[in-house]
Amino acid sequence: MGDSPCKHITALETLLQPKAYICEECVKQGTDWLHLRTCQTCGGTYCCDNSPMKHMTAHYHATGHPVIISAEPGERWLWCYPDEDFVEY
């Protein structure tokens, strides 16, 4: 990780916020989640890697959408999967 944010993060013009505080896939499957993340490409909100199903990482692998934000109230950070770049804002 360098001193400045990666190209995927710097390319973001606005941050997509969660439409609802639920993991869309956990709701469909009837499973539980711990924390939520929102995809900055499509706006989907899914559970984190500490959750049993790890739906956000599965979403990244299925779509290649690179950047997520925390959807947790009070948390203000971004993560880029391909560059493993973490940025607080």
Query: pLDDT tens for residues 41-87?
Result: 999 999 999 999 999 999 999 999 999 999 999 999 999 999 999 99
HEC string for 58-69: HHHHHHCCCEEE
Per CATH, the architecture of 16-88 is what? 2-Layer Sandwich (3.30)
User: For 11-48, how does the pLDDT look when each residue is reduced to its tens digit (9 = 90+)?
Assistant: 999 999 999 999 999 999 999 999 999 999 999 999 99
DSSP one-letter code for 21:
S
Residue 33, token pair as written in the block: 């989640």
pTM (2 decimals)?
A: 0.94
What is d(CA 38, CA 64) in angstroms, rounded to the nearest whole number?
A: 14
Dmax over CA atoms of the chain, in Å, equals 41
pLDDT at 1 over 70: no
Domain boundary assignment for the chain: 16-88
